[in-house]
A and B are shown apart, each in its own frame.
Chain A
Amino acid sequence: MSIAKGREVTISVLKFNPRAKSSKPAFVDYVLEETPGMTLFIALMKIREEYDPDLSFDFVCRAGICGSCGMIVNGKPVLGCRTLIANYPTGKLQVMPMPAFELIKDLSVNTGKWMDDMSVKVQSWIVTNKETDISKIEERVEPEVADEVFELDRCIECGICVASCGTKLMRPDFVGAVGLNRVARFELDPHDNRTAEDFYELIGDDDGIFGCMSLMACEDHCPKHLPLQNKIAYLRRRLVALR
């Protein structure tokens, strides 16, 4: 069995190094032959190895699990590793870095720092006054509750919800669907002792739960298909009832 010759595709990448004085933002076109099952990860690696060794981008797991490779393809935020070239019938892909995050270079943006800051801001961890004795039998959790918490814990903090968010454009400090989802996750977790009042302190303002305009682009683009709008609406109802 052999592989038939693939079609010619054009990957157009916005290149810019904000730290180099001579660099100006510009699209660079790379023309290459499509191979079966070619993803944007495979294509960009090929471009770096064979056409442009200076092209910067971020991939880690290349399997849709680590959330490193959010980028804008033909206007939509996607995970590059899960983007199949075959799904673009015109064979033309325009690739840009995600907005809303600090640009490092070309397609590489600083999501890590943003996510760490967000995690601290919404206290994205278990808060409890109970001491766990780890040699003793663990606290029991209803299987369905564990599953519900897991459902929300599947977020990979890729930043796609932030890059597609209208509120984030107006409010630079908005914690995004990702931040609100973290709160919803801990609110469900029986290990966490925080009350609705405590969560109000963290996100009860326009940079938090009351900032969201319900444009729903976060959920439309979430690569993990998280029920973001449902959870944001639930949190808002719960917190608005407090004041």
Chain B
Amino acid sequence: MKIIYCDALIIGGGLAGLRAAVAAQKKGLNAIVLSLVPVKRSHSAAAQGGMQASLGNSKMADGDNEDLHFSDTVKGSDWGCDQEVARMFVHTAPKAIRELAGWGVPWSRVKEGDREAVINAKKTTITEDADRHGLITSRDFGGTKKWRTCYTADATGHTMLFGVANEALKIEVDIRDRKESISLIHENGRCYGAIVRDLITGELEAYVSKGTCISTGGYGRIFKQTTNAVICEGTGQAIALETGIATLGNMEAIQFHPTPIVPSGILLTEGCRGDGGILRDVDGHRFMPDYEPEKKELASRDVVSRRMIEHIRNGKGVPSPYGDHIWLDISILGRAHIEKNLRDVQEICQIFNGIDPADEGKKGWAPVLPMQHYSMGGIRTKKTGESQTLKGLFSCGESACWDMHGFNRLGGNSVSETVVAGMIVGNYFADYCLSNDVEIKTATVQKFLDEQDTYIDEILAYDGAENIFKIKNTMQNLMDNKVGIFRDGVRLQEAVIELEELLVKTKHITVSSKEKIGNPELEEAYRVPRMLKLALCAAHGALARTESRGAHYREDFLKRDDANWLNRSITTWPNASDTKPTLTYEEIDIMTMELPPAFRGYGAKGMIIENELSAVRQDEVDEIVEKLEAQGKDRHAIQDALMPFDLPMNYRVTNERVGDL
């Protein structure tokens, strides 16, 4: 048995995993990062538009702070998030972006003087103050009070990922790519690392560690139409689920982005609309103001996506061989702006659709349609990022349900979460590794390795008529059709039954090549059953949740039901032979909230079944605020009285802003 010992094992080499590895290494631990692909090719690189951090530097961001970022995030989540985690996040985000600036991420900067911008489809002049010159600037994104999204043109994830990956190389983090973790080693309720398959040699190895952190991104590829990279198959969540001990949270909370391009599904950033781009229908009419007079194209993603589909259902879609779509018009921003700030978008339109979006008029419009984009659900953790049920297993980034996004994530909050959670969870994780020893016998490690070895032999010996690629395609299509943007009980019930059947069928395949080295079909054969388990968690959770909240929208239960559904869906998979997850719920306590449930400010009005505690807590909050304001307390003291929170390192220190000086 090949066995590798380390202090801190990080599975997944995107932004979150790498930043967590840096945290561990800087605390003197020996950190190993395992990644399916070279880490700089992780899906983090595809984040385009930007990172939210309330620096408040530019004119349109002036006056921004943690409080506004917090309230936008909670409203965006449709009150599904953990508010304490949201507070930890918004307080650390300005530090994260300043750290990255120091690591060389070339954030776009404020330039003093006049500049032209398009706001609500009109050319507007913005005058930047001289005292802000050279500080990090920001653009507008959906669902935010201020222009808070910091960026490097539309390649923000790429520059951030290179900054963090090179920092990891600099401090000699041990990065190993083309390594796939296929099961977790655990004993007596504690995780001790993973069984890993080398994707070049096909060899199985045991990585034994004091603590393990999963940062493997989302599970978007359980859908057919998705912006996600082909590696986003959720295997990190799946191996956690397969322990039977670790739990997954809110797996039905899945975001559909309004503007992937048709038909390839490649994302065109929210920055297109943030910078002033608009959505048009078959008649060229800008329809979003008809539905959302306040936020228009910049309501939260769940709302804009639903409005687009609603408009198509009203007969206003643009017909095409790939079905009806909507037009995205950024030509009104002007060629100069597009070629500077939306370059990748322009390239994508040119290369994949033969359209130059800077061409004026209809010629430059890009066909778009909402598609799967982000997984709010994931490995359920405590505030420290540790699994609530499996000790020593941590998770951060999209793979986790830490839960700052609840049922809908705001644009710009995901890359921000990756580095912020990498800092916060990474440090708690490092502390765990510093204070806990490896206490597992090699015989136990051998047992876990043998199980996977036997499993792979079993797969190669399958002798059935089914085809693993067909099963995968069937799963993806049925997730699109039955667990998509609009959901109802009938189709969700069908989805659960069909997914169960598909899971059974994965044992009735034949893998044509019996090679253990470089055999893509074998890889599909062990990945697809794991993807099906996640799909079942999502479909099952969606079927049971008889309300509409954030991105989870039930046409047979249109209201957000705070009286009965202010909770998190928790799924486990107790027995390997089960064909369905076990579903329980974790209550969300209104009486500890800083911001009690209310209307989000966008989306349909009058669609809430109130919880009587919301008003009770709101009165309490109002009373505390009034009292402390009368005593002359500042916003930090008031916040602390409403909902105190902790952070590791010195992250709790107040963030300095030019506006406060």
User: Which residues of A approach B to under 8 Å, CB–CB?
Assistant: 1-3, 17, 19-20, 36-37, 39, 48-50, 53-56, 58-68, 82, 84, 104-106, 108, 110-113, 115-116, 119-120, 123-126, 128, 132, 134-143, 146-147, 149-150, 153-154, 156-157, 186, 189, 191-192
Contacts and interface: CB of A to CB of B under 8 A. Distances in A.
B513 A54 contact: yes
A93 B658 CA distance: 57
B37 A68 contact: yes
A125 B166 contact: yes
Given A2-B321, A112-B178, A125-B169, A104 B518 contact: yes
Nearest to A83: B351
B177 A113 contact: yes
B336 interface: no
A28 to B, nearest CB: 14
**A49, A104, A108: most-surrounded residue (chain B CB, <10 A):** A49
B659 to A, nearest CB: 10
Contacts of B101: 132, 138-139, 141, 191
A135 B653 contact: yes
Contact of A156 (B153, B158, B656): B158
A150 B152 contact: yes
- Tell me if A's interface is mostly helix, strand, loop or mixed: loop
A153 B152 contact: yes
Contact of B95 (A3, A106, A135, A153): A135
Contact of A82 (B166, B351, B518): B351
A20 B37 contact: no
B37 A112 contact: yes
B248 interface: no
B513 A191 contact: no
Interface in B492-534: 511-513, 515, 517-521, 524
A64 B106 contact: no
Nearest to A3: B321
7 contacts: A53-B520, A54-B512, A63-B267, A108-B518, A115-B40, A138-B102, A139-B101
A64 B201 contact: no
B158 A60 contact: no
A63 B521 contact: no
B98 A132 contact: yes
B104 A64 contact: no
A17 to B, nearest CB: 5
B638 interface: no
B154 to A, nearest CB: 10
Interface in B25-57: 37-43, 45-46, 55
Given A49-B469, A135-B656, A146-B108, A62 B134 contact: no
Contacts of A61: 41, 43, 45-46, 229
B230 A62 contact: yes
A123 B167 CA distance: 10
A108 B38 CA distance: 12
Contact of A134 (B95, B201, B340, B519): B95
A49 B512 CA distance: 12
A84 B155 CA distance: 23
B229 to A, nearest CB: 5
B335 interface: no
Given A126-B102, A139-B101, A154-B155, A111 B513 contact: no
Given A66-B41, A66-B46, A37 B518 contact: no
Given A59-B230, A62-B266, A134 B520 contact: no
A123 B172 CA distance: 12
Contacts, number: 218
Given A63-B46, A63-B267, A65-B344, A146 B177 contact: no
Nearest to B154: A65
Interface of B: 37-43, 45-46, 55, 95-99, 101-104, 106-111, 133-137, 152-153, 155, 158-159, 162, 166-167, 169-170, 175, 177-178, 200-201, 229-231, 263-264, 266-267, 319-321, 340, 344, 347-348, 351-353, 469, 473, 511-513, 515, 517-521, 524, 650, 653-658
B45 A66 contact: yes
B634 to A, nearest CB: 16
B45 A65 contact: yes
Given A37-B352, A65-B46, A134-B99, A140 B135 contact: yes
B517 A17 contact: yes
B650 A135 contact: yes
A1 B321 contact: yes
A143 B159 contact: no
Contacts of B43: 60-61, 66
A149 B41 contact: no
Contacts of A2: 321
Contacts of B340: 147
B351 A84 contact: yes
Contacts of A113: 38, 177
A65 to B, nearest CB: 5
Nearest to A117: B169
A64 B109 contact: no
Contacts of B137: 143
A221 to B, nearest CB: 15
A58 B137 CA distance: 36
A157 B46 CA distance: 14
Given A20-B517, A112-B38, A141-B134, 10 more contacts: A19-B518, A53-B513, A63-B264, A106-B518, A115-B38, A135-B656, A141-B101, A141-B107, A143-B134, A156-B40
B134 A134 contact: no
Given A135-B655, A146-B106, A150-B159, A140 B46 contact: no
A128 B169 CA distance: 16
Contact of B521 (A17, A54, A106, A149): A54
Given A59-B230, A135-B655, A153-B152, A189 B177 contact: no
Given A112-B177, A135-B655, A156-B158, A54 B266 contact: no
B352 A39 contact: yes
Given A67-B41, A192-B104, A19 B517 contact: yes
A186 B38 CA distance: 22
